[in-house]
Chain A
Amino acid sequence: MAFIPHTEADVAAMLAALGVARIEDLFDEIPPELRLKSLAGVPEALNEMEIGRLMSERARADGIALSFLGAGAYEHHIPAAVWAITTRGEFYSAYTPYQAEASQGTLQLIYEFQTMMARLTGMEVANASMYDGASATAEAALMAVRSNRKSKSARILVPLTLHPHYRRVAVATAANQGLRFEELPYSTQEGVISAAALAPYEAEDITALIIPQPNFFGRLEDVDALTDWAHARGILVIAVVNPTALALLKPPGEWGARGADIAVGEGQPLGVPLSSGGPYFGFMTTRMEYVRQMPGRIVGRTLDAAGKQGFTLTLQAREQHIRRAKATSNICTNQGLLMTAATIYLSLLGPQGLMRTAAAAHARTRELTAALTRVPAVRLAFAGPCFHEAVLQLDRPVVPVLKALASRGILGGLDLSTYYPELGNALLVCATETKTSADIDRYRSVLNETLQGVRAA
């Protein structure tokens, strides 16, 4: 079924109007050796009932486990109203709002989203979103190079406490434009950027410093000291932040004496389901002085010909469809649907709902680590404060333990040994407001049994 509404009579009338005998005649400009007889490799059509059945079987096969995974994607309760409204046809099947008069719904929503993200991050202006947190980080690095007039080096300091995938995406995206990403070591005792790590760069020409908060281990970095250190040396500060955490933690606009210069992050925690990793959305906010260097779409409020308020895409001259080879980026999209969900989510939660969600996530994680470290083979890796995620160390390799847990319906966390071998048998665990005390106790109990069953190294 190809959703084609034409009747035979329609087709006949149309062919007659065109003066051709068959639809195939309309393809006569394509060289005959290129025309396909039939499409091998594509199965026959299924009807809706059949595909529904297949998808349901596959979904059932995957099931839903009790998950304590975080590492850049977080399970939060999504109020029913969020997707009921987001999947309305007028939002779902609308295009990019280039014809502003026919898109005031989408445009106003983006304006509200920009306002919320600017406020949440404590920055002056936001764009209409980017593909995801990792690509937003890469774009922030490129933006810093364009914006930092005092620095010519295009060297970006990247802590190893930034999500490993984000670091890889940054290199894959920006290395071809001459950016050099230099890794900052961290303290394996503390789980944060070590002060000593900055020492070699005291007098160097560095364009930007990336600061994650919380970092990949859930640990809290000393953002004020890092920000001030960077600014004293003409280095721009790129904050990579978790939006739920921002309900309780000091926002990047208030870091240090002057605040961060660019703030980005993954917006998925705000009303977007985990969905095997996407679609998500990245957010980006900055100071007004850099707004023309910010990639992506931006909506502005203006007046119409009758003096009434309205919304439109603005600052488009920076974008690919006008500037072409000199564009700030080639980005041609924003994650419209996800940004819609996030705006509705934030409106439903409000400040109280978001703060309580964040506080509950924090409390549940503390409860989780307390419970799990009661098991003899398990200890907390880092003593210092962390937010809604933590690193545990086992007395034996993590992978077989996780496998055993998985067979009992529990996804225990992320094995860190491939990313951070220096941390030994390390496991990153997360508990949000969606976990109950019973869930946590179940994890502890199954872990206990598993460790008795699985041999120590």
Chain B
Amino acid sequence: MSNLPADLKYTKSHEWVRTLADGTVEIGITDHAQHALGDLVFVEVPDAGRVVKADEPCAVVESVKAASDVYAPIAGEITAGNPKLAAEPEVVNADPYGEGWLMRLKPAPGALAAAALLSAAQYQQVLDSEGD
């Protein structure tokens, strides 16, 4: 059973979203995703300043068996990519919801409200239906 903090929002493509105090959001991949990928060997995060649309692939997480795109859950402008991950991709495996955050984004006006993000319970349903 994977770890699912109740205070975060989720997507069907296994990203999580945390709203920060200053109105920006922090984005990463879930415990389920990091477990499925296995030990990460490389992470590519977007540059600050890049404008992304909802569902646009904007990061890549790579293990020995797979390289997966990470999709922007909402539209907005990237404010930061996690600089730690270039040298230590394994942080995503160890702490996917904390130190292993991938990127931070300033949502486009109205984007956060309009986004169809899942609650922890809804995301758990997605996992259950995929079959573990």
| Contact residues of A: prevailing secondary structure | helix
**Is B63 an interface position by the 8 A CB rule?**
yes
Q: Report the Cα distance A318→B42, complex, angstroms.
A: 11
- A window 311-328: CB within 8 A of B: 314, 316-318, 322-323, 326
**A316 x B42 contact (CB < 8 A):** no
Within 8 Å CB of A258, what residues of B? Answer: none
Docked-complex contact A317 and B69, CB < 8 angstroms? no
Residues of B contacting A152 with CB < 8 Å?
A: none
Give the shortest distance, in Å, between A320 (CB) and chain B (any CB): 12
A272-328 at interface with B (beta carbon < 8 Å)? 292, 314, 316-318, 322-323, 326
Task: Check B67 for interface membership: any CB of A closer than 8 A.
Answer: yes
Expressed in whole angstroms, the Cα–Cα distance for A37 and B69 within the complex equals 50
How many A residues face the partner with a CB closer than 8 A? 8
Bound form: Cα–Cα A323–B57 in Å:
14
Determine how close the nearest CB of chain A comes to the CB of B11; give it in whole angstroms: 19
B90 → A minimal CB distance (Å): 15
| Chain B proximity of A381: nearest CB distance (Å) | 49
Within 8 A of A (CB), among B54-101: 62-67, 69
In whole Å, how far is A268's beta carbon from the nearest beta carbon of chain B? 33
- Separation in Å of the A143 CB from the closest CB of chain B? 16
Contact of B69 with A326 in the complex, beta carbons under 8 Å? yes
Partner of B63, one of A292, A317, A318: A317
Chain B residues near A323 (CB-CB < 8 A) = 67
Q: Nearest-CB distance from A183 to chain B (Å)? A: 34
Alpha-carbon distance A71/B44, docked complex (angstroms): 42
Which of B42, B44, B64, B69 is the most central at the interface, judged by chain A CB atoms within 10 Å of its CB?
Answer: B64
Least Cβ–Cβ distance between B73 and chain A, in angstroms: 20
Residue of A nearest to B69 (CB): A326
User: What 1/0 mask marks residues of chain B from 40 to 56 whose CB sits below 8 Å from any chain A CB?
Assistant: 01101000000000000
Kindly state the separation between the CA atoms of A292 and B42 in the bound complex, as whole angstroms.
10
| B69 touching A322, Cβ below 8 Å | no
Question: Please, how many angstroms separate the alpha-carbon atoms of A373 and B41 in the complex?
Answer: 60
Contacts of B62 in A (CB 8 A): 317
Q: State whether B66 touches A322 (Cβ < 8 A).
A: yes
Q: How far is the CA of A87 from the CA of B69 in the complex (A)?
A: 43
Chain B positions within 8 Å of A292 at CB level: 42, 44
- For the complex formed, measure the closest distance between the CB of B15 and the CB atoms of chain A, giving whole angstroms: 18
CA distance A323 to B65 in the complex (A): 9
- The distance from the CB of A287 to the nearest CB of chain B, in whole angstroms, is 16
What is the bound-complex CA distance between A292 and B41, given in angstroms? 12
Contact with B along A101-139 (1 / 0, CB 8 A): 000000000000000000000000000000000000000
Note all chain A residues with C-beta closer than 8 A to B64.
Answer: 314, 316-317
Closest Cβ–Cβ distance, residue B92 to chain A (whole Å): 15
Task: Name A318's closest neighbour in chain B (CB-CB).
Answer: B67
- Which chain A residues border B69 with CB–CB below 8 Å? 326
Which residues in A have their C-beta under 8 angstroms from that of B67?
A: 317-318, 322-323, 326
Bound-state CA distance A2–B41 (Å) is 46
* In the complex, chain B residues whose CB is within 8 Å of the CB of A314: 64
Residues of A within 8 A of B66 (CB): 317, 322
Alpha-carbon distance between A292 and B62 when the two chains are bound, in angstroms? 11
A314 to B64, CA, bound (A): 8
CB distance from B82 to the nearest CB of A (A): 18
Residues of chain A lying within 8 A (CB to CB) of residue B41: 317
**Taking each of A317, A322, A326, which has the highest tally of chain B beta carbons within 10 Å of its own beta carbon?**
A317
C-alpha spacing A317/B60, complex, angstroms: 11
Residue of A nearest to B42 (CB): A292
B104 to chain A, nearest CB (A): 20
Within residues 428 to 444 of chain A, which ones have a CB less than 8 A from any CB in chain B? none
Cα-based distance from A322 to B37 in the complex (angstroms): 12
- Tell me the smallest distance from the CB of A312 to a CB of chain B, in Å: 9
What residues on A are CB-neighbors of B42 within 8 Å?
292, 317
Interface string of A201-217 (1 = CB under 8 A from B): 00000000000000000
Assembly CA distance A323 to B42 (angstroms): 14
Task: Report the bound CA distance from A347 to B64 in whole Å.
Answer: 32
Residues of A within 8 A of B65 (CB): 317, 322
Q: How far is the CA of A316 from the CA of B62 in the complex (A)?
A: 10
How far is it, in angstroms, between the C-alpha of A314 and the C-alpha of B63 when the chains are bound? 10
Shortest CB-to-CB span from B70 to chain A, Å, is 13
A316: chain B residues within 8 A (beta carbon)? 64
A190 to B69, CA, bound (A): 49
Neighbouring B residues of A326 by C-beta, 8 Å: 67, 69
Closest to B57 in A: A326
- Shortest B98–chain A CB gap in Å is 25
From B41, B62, B66, name the one whose CB has the most chain A CB atoms within 10 angstroms. B62
Contacts of A317 in B (CB 8 A): 41-42, 62-67
| Minimum distance in angstroms from B71 CB to a CB of chain A | 13
A316 to B65, CA, bound (A): 8
Q: Closest 4 CB pairs between A and B?
A: A317-B67, A317-B62, A323-B67, A322-B66
- The interface of chain A, by Cβ under 8 A from chain B, is 292, 314, 316-318, 322-323, 326
Can you list 19 residue pairs at the A/B interface with Cβ under 8 Å?
A292-B42, A292-B44, A314-B64, A316-B64, A317-B41, A317-B42, A317-B62, A317-B63, A317-B64, A317-B65, A317-B66, A317-B67, A318-B67, A322-B65, A322-B66, A322-B67, A323-B67, A326-B67, A326-B69
For the complex with contacts A292-B44, A317-B65, 7 further pairs of A-B residues with Cβ separation under 8 Å are A292-B42, A317-B41, A317-B42, A317-B62, A317-B63, A317-B67, A322-B66
